[in-house]
């Protein structure tokens, strides 16, 4: 079993309040969950209204497949939300 985890940092230049940020982040997380069936949550930068850290995880029997899924999520966010800038993307594979 392989667990792939990723942390993606996004910059939200068009958000001007925490309320706007929460709406955008909730929308992104719902779309990603529905499209890819992975776990995703806001894991950092909770009080900054133009920055968010999202944590994601995927379990598979193939490490390459798990990594590809998380990379597809990153590209999906970049392509479907041009108003958001992905500023960092880190992944790690855990072999259990």
Question: Maximum CA pair distance of the chain?
Answer: 42
How many whole angstroms separate alpha carbon 12 and alpha carbon 47?
13
pLDDT per residue, tens digit, the chain (96 aa), is 999 999 999 999 988 999 999 999 999 999 999 999 899 999 987 788 899 999 999 999 988 999 999 999 999 999 999 989 999 999 999 998
Q: How far does Cα 26 stand from its chain's mean position?
A: 11
Beta-bridge partner residues of 11: 51, 85
Instruction: Provide the token pair at 53.
Output: 């850290």
**Phi, psi angle pair for 92, to nearest 5°:** -150, 140
Q: Which domains does the chain have, with CATH numbers?
A: 2-95 (3.30.70.1120)
Residues contacting 60, CB < 8 A, separation 6+:
1, 2, 4, 66, 69
């Amino acid at each position: 079993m392989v667990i792939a985890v990723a942390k993606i940092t996004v910059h939200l230049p068009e958000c001007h309040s925490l309320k706007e940020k929460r709406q955008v982040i909730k929308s992104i997380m719902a779309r990603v969950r529905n499209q890819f069936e992975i776990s995703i949550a806001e894991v950092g930068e909770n009080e900054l209204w133009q920055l968010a850290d999202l944590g994601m995880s995927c379990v598979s029997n193939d490490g390459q497949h798990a990594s590809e899924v998380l990379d597809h999520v990153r590209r999906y966010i970049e392509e479907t939300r041009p108003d958001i800038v992905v500023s960092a993307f880190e992944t790690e594979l855990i072999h259990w």
